[in-house]
Homo-oligomer: A and B are copies of this chain.
Amino acid sequence: MKRAEEGQAGALTMQKIAELAGVSAMTVSRALKSDASISPETRARILDIVSRIGYVPDATARMFASRRSGFVAALVPSLNNSNFADTVRGMEEAFGPAGLQLLLGDTEYSLSREEDLISALLQRRPEAIVLTGGVHTPAARQMLAKAGIPIVETWDLPKAPLDHVVGFSNEAAGAAMVHYLYERGRRNIGFIGGATNLDTRGSERRAGYARAVRELGLSRSRVVTFGKPPVTMSQGGEALDLMLKQWPEVDAILCVSDLSAFGVLMECQRRGVAVPQRLAIAGFGDFEVARCCHPRLTTIAVDCQGIGRRAAEIVLSALEAKKSGEVLPPETVVMPFEVVARETV
């Protein structure tokens, strides 16, 4: 009850506030909850003391006592990517008002790092977890299954979802862009992507490219793989060099991302390759650079923030269901994507 502490914030507890206010600690606890039954006068008096002496309640103790962490874990391949950053923002906007704190992890496009992060984050007892993509290590899948919390996989449509899904078919998106290029008269279509399969969404876009090329009866597929994700602008430029050396006849290039597409475009300008006359370029993601560059980049737009928002909404309703002992049946939300016709095709 008495402690030999100095005036640090850490030394302040509800008990001290209670003593100052002449009430019990329980009453202070109620004063700090918005929906507790307490007389307005008592609450006002307590809140006044709290703000005057700068008491900050201890969330660690709260979550320990209430067995609710108030955390949601979210894993993204890269924080430094406009698309995923938008998805994170979408989640934050939905979780913040609900009093949930996002615990962010950056997998750096590595499944083993994802596994490590899942293991570390699960120790924080998140109430739900949001993942990017539908491919995970067996160990990760097992941990997630044992965790017994709502899971949302995003940015993809996994064949065997762990639980909920908010995504779209990257394969279909890749194919759609090839069809668009074909409609615009292109017949020698190439693809530029990463050199590894770490970016599973990128690999699916490439698979969609390959399928569409087959379906359309185009003579051959021209794939340049270059650089390890996250793909950079400069890598696009270098990949263009390889592409033109190997398949000089190429008249359209589909890139795994707007970033590499932009790199291709800039390299074309340096070399004097006319875009789109001699070479059409298409990207993916509708990054700001795609809307702003000259000529403007044809690309595929996805509602990144919407993915985050929908994922958060599913988490919130799953958590709501859990309160009454129910389990929300796995839900899959298919987000639309759209070919955005601009000037590079």
Hey, what's the 0/1 contact readout for A194-236 against B, CB within 8 Å counting as 1?
Answer: 0000000000000000000000000000000000000011100
Contact B125 A10 (CB under 8 A): yes
Q: How many copies does the complex hold?
A: 2
Complex contact A146–B60 (CB within 8 A): no
Contacts of A258-298 to chain B: CB distance below 8 A: 259, 262-263, 266, 269-270, 288-289, 291-294
Say whether, besides A148-B10, A292-B233, A294-B266, A60 and B54 are in contact (CB < 8 Å). no
Contact: A125 with B59, CB < 8 Å?
A: yes
A148 to B292, CA, bound (A): 46
User: Could you say which residues of chain B place their CB within 8 Å of the CB of A270?
Assistant: 294
User: Are B89's CB and A80's CB within 8 A?
Assistant: yes
Interface residues of A in 91-132 (CB under 8 A from B): 92, 101-104, 106, 119-120, 122-125
- Nearest CB in chain B: distance from A156 CB, A: 21
Partner of A79, one of B64, B79, B122: B79
Most buried by B among A1, A79, A234: A79
* A85 at interface by CB-CB < 8 Å: yes
Q: Is A7 an interface residue (CB 8 A)?
A: yes
Beta-carbon contacts under 8 Å, A135-183 to B: 142-143, 145-148
What 0/1 pattern do residues 226 to 249 of A give for CB contact below 8 A with B?
A: 000000111001000000000000
Chain A interface residues toward B at CB < 8 A: 1-4, 6-10, 54, 56-61, 63-64, 67, 69, 79-80, 82, 85-86, 88-89, 92, 101-104, 106, 119-120, 122-125, 142-143, 145-148, 232-234, 237, 259, 262-263, 266, 269-270, 288-289, 291-294, 322, 325, 327
Given contacts A56-B143, A61-B64, A289-B289, 17 further A-B contacts (CB under 8 A): A3-B325, A4-B325, A7-B148, A8-B148, A9-B122, A9-B148, A10-B148, A57-B123, A58-B123, A58-B125, A60-B124, A60-B125, A79-B79, A79-B88, A232-B288, A232-B292, A233-B289
Listed by A's residue number, 14 A-B pairs whose Cβ atoms lie within 8 Å are A1-B327, A6-B148, A7-B146, A8-B146, A8-B148, A56-B122, A57-B123, A60-B124, A79-B79, A80-B85, A101-B120, A102-B104, A104-B104, A270-B294
